[in-house]
Amino acid sequence: MTRKYSINFSIPKRSKNSIKFIIIHYTGMNNQSKAITRLCELNSKVSTHYFIKNDGKLLNFVPDLYEAWHAGKSRWKNFNSLNKYSIGIEINNPGHDNRYLKFKYKQISTLKKLLKELIKKYKIKKYNILGHSDIAPDRKKDPGEKFPWEILAKNNLSIWHNIDKKKIKLLRNKKVKSLEKNKFLSNLKIIGYSINIKDKTLIIKAFQRRFRQDLINGKIDEECLFISKNLLKKC
């Protein structure tokens, strides 16, 4: 790991026990060098604790016990402004607004090693490993539907539903009644999503980018409802 310090962080130090979450991002820029520069420039007002390059090499910009500026306006369960309670990890990827790519094997390999270390060090629950779009669905799409959440879950580094894919697809696009739609949103709130957003399709899409990655349409169907019920057992 290479240390390359960013000046964009808050002081004083926070306690080790205050770190409850890990938030995963993509850079959303075409140029890796420019992304690194931006995360270190004062005028950008953004930073991260860790940066994973295309070749899997790991950079450390902000020490863990200082608050990096990566999450912005955010909410998960009863926590607001998650910068205070989280460690941010940026993975280089052009993102949705450019040429969104599948994450590289070396990047995910490095991420898995880093997550294992951080989870052990700060006793972070695997259901608190989140994407930026989970905590800010009205603003963000990252790390997006090409991010391998299921692979992380198989390594005990996140959560995923344990439903047979062929069976669950039989429920796809099957309409649900208003009562069931409300139940789905209630499930999302229990999982951790903030549902106090006017445009509910943004919350639904955030859920789909995380847990039903091959169809992101912002519509609640029986498949989404069933997945949300299954996830309640894991939160």
β-strand 9-10 against 50-52: which pairing, if any?
A: unpaired
Q: Look at residues 219, 209, 223 and name the one whose alpha carbon lies nearest to residue 100.
A: 209
* Confidence at 3, pLDDT banded by 50, 70, 90: confident
What's the pLDDT at 23?
99
Q: Look at residues 168, 217, 228 and name the one whose alpha carbon lies nearest to residue 195.
A: 228
Share of the chain above pLDDT 70, in %: 100
6 pLDDT more than 90? yes
What's the pLDDT at 134?
98
Torsion of CA 191, 95, 157, 63, to 10 degrees: -100
Instruction: Compute the half-sphere exposure of residue 124: CA atoms within 13 Å on the CB side of its CA.
Output: 28
**Inter-residue contact 89 to 23 (CB < 8 Å):** yes
Which contiguous run of DSSP H or E holds residue 132? helix 132-135
**Inter-residue contact 150 to 157 (CB < 8 Å):** no
Per-residue pLDDT reduced to its tens digit, 69-98? 999 999 999 999 999 999 999 999 999 999
What's the pLDDT at 165?
87
Q: Rounded CA gap, 230 and 215, in Å?
A: 18
**Inter-residue contact 100 to 94 (CB < 8 Å):** yes
What's the pLDDT at 156?
97
Q: Which residue has the higher pLDDT, 7 or 24?
A: 24
Q: Look at residues 195, 201, 203 and name the one whose alpha carbon lies nearest to residue 218.
A: 201
4 pLDDT more than 90? no
Q: Rounded CA gap, 56 and 108, in Å?
A: 8
Catalytic residue among 41, 67, 90, 150: 90
* Confidence at 15, pLDDT banded by 50, 70, 90: very high
Per-residue pLDDT reduced to its tens digit, 110-144? 999 999 999 999 999 999 999 999 999 999 999 99
Entry pTM = 0.98
**Inter-residue contact 48 to 68 (CB < 8 Å):** yes
* Confidence at 209, pLDDT banded by 50, 70, 90: very high
Which domains are assigned to the chain?
Answer: 2-154 (3.40.80.10), 165-234 (1.10.101)
102 pLDDT more than 90? yes
Active site (annotated) includes residue 90 = yes
What's the pLDDT at 82?
98
The encoded tokens of residue 137 equal 């669905």
Per-residue pLDDT reduced to its tens digit, 28-63? 999 999 999 999 998 999 999 999 999 999 999 999
